[in-house]
Amino acid sequence: MIRALLYLRGYSLLNLLRTRAQRLRQPKYLLGLGAGILYFWFFFFRHLPGGAGLDRGSGVDPLQFIFAAFAVLGLIRIGSAWLAPTPRPSLDFSEAEIAFLFPAPATRRQLVHFKLVGTQITILLSALILTVLTQRGAALGGNAVTHAIGWWLMLSLAHLHNLGAAFTVARLVEGGMSRARRQLIVGGVIFAVIAGIAWGAWTSAPDATAWMSAWQEQNTGDRLGTAVLAAYVREVSGTGIIGWLLLPFRVALAPFFAPDVAAFLRALGPALLLLAAHYFWVMRNAVSFEEASIAAAEKRALLVAKLQAGQRPLSTGAPKPRKPPFPLRPGGGWPEIAFLWKNLLSTHPWLGPRALGPATLVTLALASLVSPRLWFIPIIAAVYFVLLGPQLARQDLRTDLVNADLLKSYPLPGWRIVLGQLLAPTAILSGLLWLALLALFVTSGRTNSAPAWLTVEFRLSGLVCLALLIPPVCLLQLLVPNAGAVLFPSWAMAGRQTRGGGGIEVMGQRLIFVAGQMLVLLAAVLPAGGFAVLAGFAASLAYSPAAAFLTGSAMFLLALAAEIAAGIYWLGHRFEQFDLSAESVK
Amino acid sequence: MIEVEGLTKRYGDFTAVSQLSFTVRPGEVLGLVGPNGAGKTSTLRSVAGIIPPNGGSIRIAGIDLVADPVEAKRRLAFFPDEPRLFEYLTVSQHLAFVARIYGVTDHDELAAPLLEELELANKADALPGELSRGMKQKLAIACGLLHSPAVMFFDEPLTGLDPLGIRRMKDSILRRAREGCTIVLSSHLLHLLEEVCSHVLILKQGTKIADGTIAEVSAQFANGETDVSLEEIFMRATGGSES
């Protein structure tokens, strides 16, 4: 049986790799792979030994904080595995695995083995990625191989421990132990361990101040004292009763933190023994996991279906009916308004038009009360909305691409559908930017150190002009990713795939996509900006800075409007020709 | 009325539908049948104006679909195999949205009886997530019927419905046909098609194998036998295989 399971694992992996290799024949995936590899090389691999790495000398090592955070999270995870385990232990089987393997003549032990082998593939990949990530600037000692094995050991132990804890708790529950009694015993053990550590630190730890001073005399350069603190913690954790209480953790971590190969080999034996002990513990305690695994697989399948249907994957529970953002009259022309209404209805009510009044009052109050020295905060917010807003506000064609057939059956030309779809995110982003602009206007009026040219007239004309410019700029920005979704639907849909759809090439595709968006946006804004500057300059010579603002803005608005109109019309035509099924058969 | 002449649909090098011609008159129900990959869905999506054909002409209620798609679409309704609904719109909000899109000014007078007829009146404020598969199908139908289309396309309309739902769907299709609608539907459930369709069109590898009333097509493949079922006709016409 185990040979059949290994066959399934092996060939699934092989076929996955083969499929990935085959799709590289499509230029979009090949380009994506190139971009993905370049990204990884630029951000990670070039820092590996031999590359132009960061300074590995003394000083603040941020990885010590990261490791400390990992250690704390790991301890919390282990504690929660005992104190608050899942009601029924489950293993991560897919629906197909359940359909084929659960009715098959396989023992429970064989199924656990199958899952453990499958998990090892994930753990090995994770260990590899973590090794690459933690090579940056870490003064850890050892080398990439010892770190990779160290990570593999730590991740494997964590996985086996959680599984063993879940099985053991389930076995205790099956044996009649109540939840309260179990928590009392486990809580008591954890309390005893913590008390033992505290007692050990109190009685046998060296004096912290003296020890750190002595350490700093020998090791210079640790300006913030992080290394000395870490060294002190290492010293304390290895002495007296604390050393014994933390022995399993020390054994598990020792290979990773070994300073050289000899120390690594010495640490490897005990760590492997600990791993073997965990394995036997898991196999000995394996209890019924089938029912919970089926439920977990169904939940995962639902999540995948939601992702593929373009729905919110992280929504907790079923959505609730919402009050429409405004009354929608059935007739009256302008069917685009129906799309605005529908898409606003699909988002949070606090992003709708009813929230604009209260939000304006709150903004005015805040801008009037806070220190005028904080005038830059609205600018930071505005930059954030401009740069990231179009990626976050997706109540448009990107979300509705799965309903393309339905949209195309409506008696509307493509440009009206596109325009309608763009209205909701444009309204949301415009509202947010207007609030930021209002806040900037109020705070800039309260500062005492304003330059002479920043008159009330100038600020008012600036407020009006920028307020008028915001919606078309948002519309233009949103046009670009929506055009991307129609022109390259498989790229836009890639984010909805979870099994077998990802990979470096898909990540690279997204990078190219975002870079393309920025370029197109720049190409659209630059000519309009050029017109605006020329017209504004001429007006400033003839009249005043405020007039320059008005004239420049008007020119910018006109140029943008022409570009947007052309863009929407063109995209509408492409949407009429769009066929998602043709994309999926390639 | 639907008039299709020389319809061709290609995906890259692959020809899904080749030189297909047929006519469906008001009151007729045409059953589009064929093995998997025969081009049924591509045909339906092309004649409903969802995907552009590569060749041929399509006229919906006398209007050229390629030349004037907006006017042609005002007269048709397309019902996909899987009801496509908006997750955050309630049943009544779906109808309000569709009314605005199609410019149905008397929406209130039409929507209420439609919901009553489709037994959705007590679910008016429910979201699609709260509806069963059959109810979702009904909501999609209600949305499609709101603008009183003259031509209807159903892609696998009976998929996922329970026996009662199948019966009601059949009755609904037959009633619309009696009222003068032109209907095309595709399905693999041949015995059910036999009960609903007045005409049948058999496709294989994108080309037409047979077209006509069920009696005419039966006669073509019956080899002199009587009481030959549509299933048997289908097997004989297609050779019992996909390729």
Q: Same domain for A280 and A348?
A: no
Helix (H, G, I), strand (E, B) or coil at A177: coil
Burial tier of A227 (Cβ tally within 10 Å: 0-12, 13-18, 19+): buried
Asked, for residue A148, whether it belongs to a domain, the answer is yes
| Residue A24 falls inside a structural domain | no
Residue with tokens 């933690």: A134
For residues B114 and B164, membership in a common domain is answered with no
* pLDDT (tens digit per residue) in B47-87: 998 888 999 999 999 999 999 999 999 999 999 888 888 88
Tell how far CA B213 is from the center of its chain.
Answer: 17
Residues B185 and B221 in one domain: yes
- Measure CB to CB from residue B84 to each of A328, A338, A403 and give the nearest one: A403
Residues B170 and B219 in one domain: yes
Subunit contact B100:A318, Cβ cutoff 8 A: no
User: Which among A345, A61, A373 is positioned nearest to A229, based on CA atoms?
Assistant: A61
The predicted model gives A105-118 an average pLDDT of: 80
Whether residue A428 sits in one domain with residue A359: yes
Provide the pLDDT for residue A140: 62
A74 and A162 fall within a common domain: yes
Task: Specify which residues B15 forms β-bridges with.
Answer: B10
A574 at interface of B, judged by CB pairs closer than 8 A: no
- Asked if the structure places residue B217 within a domain, the reply is yes
CB contact under 8 Å between A411 and B84, yes or no, is no
Give the model confidence (pLDDT) of A446-485 as tens digits. 777 777 777 777 788 888 888 988 999 899 888 888 988 8
A167-226 confidence digits (pLDDT tens): 888 777 777 777 778 778 878 887 888 888 788 777 777 777 777 777 766 665 555 455
State the SS3 of chain B: CEEEEEEEEEECCEEEEEEEEEEECCCCEEEEECCCCCCHHHHHHHHCCCCCCCEEEEEECCEECCCCHHHHHHCEEEECCCCCCCCCCCHHHHHHHHHHHHCCCCHHHHHHHHHHHCCCHHHCCCCHHHCCHHHHHHHHHHHHHCCCCCEEEEECCCCCCCHHHHHHHHHHHHHHHHCCCEEEEECCCHHHHHHHCCEEEEEECCEEEEEEEHHHHHHHHCCCCCCCCHHHHHHHHHCCCCC
A49 found inside a domain: no
CA A282 to chain centre: 32
Q: In B, what residues contact A, Cβ < 8 A? A: 11-12, 14, 41-42, 45, 48-52, 69-74, 76-78, 80, 84, 86-90, 93, 96-97, 99-108, 125-127, 129-130
Count interface pairs A-B at CB distance under 8 A: 111
The answer to whether A316 faces chain B, any CB pair under 8 Å, is no
Are B153 and B230 in the same domain? yes
The predicted complex's ipTM stands at: 0.81
Chain A residues within 8 A of B52 when measuring between CB atoms: 576-577, 579
Residues B139 and B97 in one domain: yes
Question: Of the candidates B102, B122, B148, which is a domain's last residue?
Answer: B148
pLDDT score of B5: 95
Establish if A257 belongs to a structural domain.
Answer: yes
Whether A317 maps to a domain, the answer reads no
Number of domains chain B contains: 2
Q: For residue A328, what is the nearest residue in chain B, using CA coordinates?
A: B96
> Does residue B71 share a domain with residue B185?
yes
Q: B101 to chain A: which residues are within 8 Å by CB?
A: 335, 338, 410-412
Residues B129 and B47 in one domain: no
Range of the domain at A92: 60-306
Q: What angle do CA A137, A138, A139 make, to 5 degrees?
A: 115
How confident is the model at residue A152, as a pLDDT? 92
Measured between CB atoms, which of A322, A402, A579 is closest to B88?
A: A322
Q: Are residues A354 and A206 in the same domain?
A: no
What angle separates helix A545-577 from helix A504-542, to the nearest 10 degrees? Answer: 150
Residues contacting residue B114 through CB under 8 Å, at least 6 positions apart: B95, B142, B145, B146
B234 min Cα distance to partner chain A (Å): 27
Inter-chain residue contact A410 with B103, CB threshold 8 Å: no
Whether residues A405 and B78 touch (CB distance < 8 A) is answered with: yes
Assess whether A352 and A499 both reside in one domain.
Answer: yes
Within an 8 Å CB–CB cutoff, is residue A317 touching chain B?
no
Domain assignment present for B228: yes
Of B148, B165, B188, the residue that ends a domain is B148
Residue B243 lies inside a defined structural domain of this protein: no
- CB-based contact B86 A342, cutoff 8 Å: yes
In this structure, are B117 and B227 located in the same domain?
A: no
Residues of chain B contacting A341 with CB distance shorter than 8 Å: 97, 100
For A483-499, what is the mean pLDDT?
66
Closest CA to B115 of B139, B85, B149, B147: B139
Same domain? For A371 and A272 the reply is no
Average pLDDT for A334-345: 93
Q: For B66, which residue in chain A has the nearest alpha carbon?
A: A576
The SS3 of residue A341 is helix
Q: A490 and A355 share a domain?
A: yes
Q: Domain check: are B103 and B199 in the same one? A: no
Q: Give the chain A residue nearest B71 (alpha carbons).
A: A411
**Residue B102, domain member (yes or no):** yes
Of B126, B148, B170, the position where a domain reaches its end is: B148
Q: Is A315 among the domain residues?
A: no
CATH number of the domain encompassing residue B177: 3.40.50.300
Q: Are both B50 and B165 inside the same structural domain?
A: yes
Q: Is position A328 within any domain?
A: no
Beta bridge partners of B182: B151
A512 domain residue, yes or no: yes
Rounded Cα distance between B133 and B116, Å, is 18
Q: Are residues B163 and B54 in the same domain?
A: yes
Helix (H) and strand (E) counts for chain A? 24, 0
Domain of residue B114 covers 85-148
How far apart are alpha carbons A338 and B97 in whole angstroms? 6
Number of domains in chain A: 2
